[in-house]
Amino acid sequence: MTLVKTNNRFAFPSLIDEFLKPDWMGGVERFNVNVPAVNIKETDTTFVVELAAPGKKKEDFNIELDDNVLTISSEASSENEEKDKEGKYTRKEFSYSSFKRSFTLPEIVNEFDINATYENGVLHIALPKREEALPKPKRMIEIG
């Protein structure tokens, strides 16, 4: 009895995997794309987009709305240099990260009242619904 089942559809799956890896022939060991996780919630009056991006500042984000497509992007770079007494650097490190997420908004979003806040590592974007899309109160109809 085995606990792990394998699917051997291909004759050489490990060879195919090796060719498709980005580190083939000595490149980067693992190609790691860091795209922030997103939660989307709907209430009676709004949609809320929550994007997890800890360690960033609110100035790092670009939020654009074009033809009912909401695009959230960020680019950040940093450089760290340690020098010895003679002015020669002994270690210099730099990093660069960026991401871009796009969402097609439904027609019921009021694009003129969208607002965003960033706190505790989470970007919150409130997308209010148009007046005609809000739930109507229950009413009684008299029988005539």
Torsion region of 26: left, alpha or beta (phi above 0 gives left; psi -120 to 50 gives alpha): left
pLDDT digits (tens, 9 = 90+) for 37-58: 999 999 999 999 999 999 888 8
How far apart (Å, rounded) are the C-alpha atoms in residues 99 and 35? 6
Percent of the chain with pLDDT over 90: 40
Mean pLDDT of the chain: 79
Does position 85 have pLDDT exceeding 90, yes or no?
A: no
Q: What is the pTM of this model?
A: 0.65
Q: How far apart are CA 37 and CA 22, in angstroms?
A: 23
